[in-house]
Copies of this chain bind each other. A is one copy, B any other.
Amino acid sequence: MSKPPIPVGISARHIHLSQEHLELLFGTGYELTNFKALSQPGQFASQEFVDLQGEKSTFPKVRILGPVRGQTQVEISLTDAAKLGVKPPVRDSGDLDGSAAITIIGPKGKVELHSGVIAARRHIHMTPVDAEQYGLKDHDFVKIRVGDENRSLIFDKVHVRVTNASSLECHLDTDEANAALVKTGDVCTIFSN
């Protein structure tokens, strides 16, 4: 059975904040403003930004994604990391123990984040219904074929994440997107040889 292609979404650098950190950065009782819905159900790009300060440089105007989470998490590419002077591990979202440190600067305050900076492991979001269609289960790893004819490639170690609140999409960061010459709205296919 030929499996349908999977949409690709490219993640630019962004941050998820805990309510505690949001209030330290923006003031007591602050709430994020929904700017635009993201493809994953309930997730949104907020109107708010922070600056991220590393050992070597600062990135201004990094988008906060909402809603707030239990832990603050910063997701950057390894190109970003080299420029900032931080050394994030490649990790799944939420797996933050021993990840990299950074300083977060908001309009009302500053947070010295001791861990929470990662380069996201590439992954595919899908529902249980999708998973059944592809013959996969949560935490499987697959290869995907993706990319422009000049830079096509096969990513190994793509982590399958199955939840009810998912929209079928393969998430790559900007380094990965550039290495394959792929952009949001393109598609990839699960590769089996």
Contact = CB atoms under 8 A, between A and B. Distances in A.
A140 interface: no
A178 B82 CA distance: 10
A154 B151 contact: no
Interface of A: 77-79, 82, 90, 119, 121-122, 143, 147-157, 174-176, 178-181, 193
A175 B79 contact: yes
Nearest to A91: B150
A189 to B, nearest CB: 13
Contacts of A157: 149-153
Given A77-B79, A79-B79, A152-B157, 10 more contacts: A79-B174, A90-B148, A90-B181, A119-B178, A151-B157, A153-B153, A155-B179, A175-B179, A176-B179, A193-B193
A185 to B, nearest CB: 17
B79 A178 contact: yes
A178 B13 CA distance: 14
Contacts of A181: 78, 90
A176 B174 CA distance: 10
A193 B157 CA distance: 18
Contacts of A176: 178-179
A101 B122 CA distance: 33
A114 B178 CA distance: 23
A151 B176 CA distance: 10
B154 A77 contact: no
Contacts of A180: 179
Contact of A154 (B90, B121, B156): B156
14 contacts: A79-B175, A82-B174, A121-B150, A122-B151, A150-B157, A151-B157, A152-B156, A153-B153, A153-B154, A153-B157, A154-B154, A175-B179, A176-B178, A178-B179
